[in-house]
Structure 1
Amino acid sequence: MNALDPVGLDCLAALVDAGSFDKAAQSLSITQSAVSQRLRALESNVGHLLVVRSRPLRLTEPGKVLLRYARQMQALRADAARELGSALSRDERLPIAVNADSLATWVLPALDPLVQAGQREGYALELMVDDQDFTHDWLRQGEVLGCVSTVAQALRGCVCQPLGLMRYFAVASPAFIASAMPNGLTAQTFAHLPFIVFNRKDDMQAQWVTRAFGVREPRLKERFVPSSEAGARAAAMGWGIAVMPELLAAPYLAQGSLVRLCPAVSLDVALYWHHWKLKSEPSPAATLRPGLMDLIGEALIQGARRALEAQHPDPA
């Protein structure tokens, strides 16, 4: 295999980001025909089909390998520009995946300084969202450069750093409690009550019921609300029981619009930051500026530490 063409790698990344040839052409400011030519040249170079021409576009396994490499090259290019103090010709996209509950609570304040700096320095931090048990798949497939995940094991070529424990408990509105479970939530009543669920990947409610009542693989009445913030509002409006982070529930509890159920029961979910190791030649300068992925990781670690350590212990 010959040396990989950076232009072809950028084309592959643009196709994944845009989801189609015409939109990729717009993002690269070239014709759709030129996108096809660059992709064919890259496929000819590596001897593999990289993209399945379907709707939506789908990467082959070799395509995922090269996408990971393309993402890393984009991050290295952004690091080099920062080292040289030069502006990039266009914003380098630095995608990371985070879980919805972290995004709704501590991630935005943690990353705000880097986002503001990126507007000046020519890189674009982009957030992708998924359930915390699945963000790791985005990293494995090359979609992102880093992720916040519950997975503790690092992929080969990646770094894994602990962020802390995110505490979850069950809540409901006073009106819902009075009308639907005047005698409280019990092992006999939970199966008949609606639970607010983020999506079909979300099993936090089932985990909490197992912890509270010792029921393995409980069957729940699920009411899907695909947003952490909207799920909290739905619970306050009386839509059902929600199992949510303490960080998200705290203001609702303080104003009395939500009440904690089974106060002695909580779930502590360990979160980790994963990112690819980016190998570059050491700078001859006396002081080497940290790479962007290192800065993102440090911002997330410090932000998580400030927020998660502020959680309150379970009541006695």
Structure 2
Amino acid sequence: MKTLDPAALECLAALVDEGSFERAAQRLAITQSAVSQRLRALEAEVGQLLVVRSRPPRLTEPGKVLLRYARQWQALRADAARELEATARPDERLPIAVNADSLATWVLPALDPLVQEGVSLELVVDDQDFTHDWLRQGAVLGCVTTVRQALRGCWVAPLGVMPYVAVASPGFVARHLPDGLHRGNFSRVPFLVFNRKDDMQRQWVSRAFGVRQPRLRERFVPSSEAYARAARMGWGVGVVPLLQVRAWLERGELVPLCPEVTVQVALYWHRWKLGDERRPGERAALISRIGDALIEGARGALLPLEAEDRSE
């Protein structure tokens, strides 16, 4: 017999505890079909019937043997979790991934109370369409992303909408765009681009002028703060969060281009579920508090996003 699948053993224990396939699936945050498939695979592995599919389900004698094994596995896992919690360093860094524009605008004020309490954070920066990859790889415990659907074993909540607008300095407009930015001249003027993952400028041009896959003259400025400053200095057209440049627009230090055109970027907070959500350990509780702080900070900075159910 090969090594038994811990996930299948978990299904067996959940089925006994909950008394039905449906409630076992809810407890494990998987589908009822997945519970059945894992149990069938376990039965195929040991070559014996483990569960009588009655109401409620009943264990066979081989099933009872494996239930004892499942309980031992759960106990060992709980012991390991307690020991890991006990040996965790008080100053352990909690890594989360955020997009650069959020970091440059609303994220730091949102997290500041926690940092002032002494919470140690490690902020990983990437494009908002790619921060989710860091979570998928297990490199971070949570992320701010444009991805709406939660990974299995994760929790997701909507944050809000960040509108992006096209801007340029008054001097740049006077020199290069005396007739404004339009379909006939957008390809001849430089656009500022954050990095090679950044397609916000193409999204904006496509929306503004109905051009599919527009070709742009690009000047790369890989820093949100420097990007906005470069637009203000007249380096090119920038497509930036309205939140970041509102004050400069009000003072006339930047000029809006086609102000009726915006790109609305919806943002979501994702985090791994760590242990028992009803009785979280210290680390899980901190990640939960980080999420609460980001949700509250986003509520005050971003446009509201239509309410959605939190997913698992």
TM-score normalised to the size of structure 1? 0.67
1:97 corresponding residue in structure 2: 97
1:219 lines up with 2:215 in the alignment? yes
Q: Distance in 1 between matches of 2:193 and 2:248?
A: 18
1:189 corresponding residue in structure 2: 185
Q: Distance in 2 between matches of 1:299 and 1:89?
A: 23
2:287 corresponding residue in structure 1: 293
Alignment of 1:1-150 (within 5 A): 89-117=89-117, 119=118, 123-150=119-146
Q: SS at 2:93's partner residue?
A: strand
Q: Distance in 2 between matches of 1:154 and 1:88?
A: 27
2:75 corresponding residue in structure 1: none
1:11 corresponding residue in structure 2: none
Deviation at 1:281, TM superposition (A): 8.2
Q: SS at 1:291's partner residue?
A: helix
Percent identity between matched residues is 65
The ranges of structure 1 where at least 4 consecutive aligned residues each deviate by more than 3 angstroms after the TM superposition are 76-81, 87-90, 280-284
Q: Distance in 1 between matches of 2:196 and 2:170?
A: 27
Q: What whole-Å deviation, never above 9, does each CA across 1:86-113 have from its counterpart, x for those lacking one?
A: x964411210000000000000000001
Specify which of 226, 231, 234 is matched with residue 230 of structure 1. 226
Q: Distance in 1 between matches of 2:82 and 2:142?
A: 17
Q: Distance in 2 between matches of 1:78 and 1:294?
A: 21
Aligned residues: 228
Q: Residue 115 of structure 2 aligns to which amino acid in structure 1?
A: V
Structure 1 residue runs of 5 or longer lacking an equivalent are: 3-72, 82-86, 311-316
Specify which of 291, 300, 311 is matched with residue 306 of structure 1. 300
Deviation at 1:280, TM superposition (A): 3.5
Alignment of 1:238-257 (within 5 A): 238-257=234-253
Check 1:236–1:305 CA distance in 2 against 1; reply closer, same or farther (3 A cut): same
Structure 2 residue runs of 5 or longer lacking an equivalent are: 5-77, 305-312
Specify which of 149, 152, 155 is matched with residue 156 of structure 1. 152
Larger radius of gyration: 2
Deviation at 1:135, TM superposition (A): 0.3
Moved more, 289-298 or 248-257: 289-298
Q: SS at 2:228's partner residue?
A: helix
TM-score normalised to the size of structure 2? 0.68
Check 1:207–1:289 CA distance in 2 against 1; reply closer, same or farther (3 A cut): closer
1:175 lines up with 2:174 in the alignment? no
Q: Distance in 2 between matches of 1:124 and 1:208?
A: 37
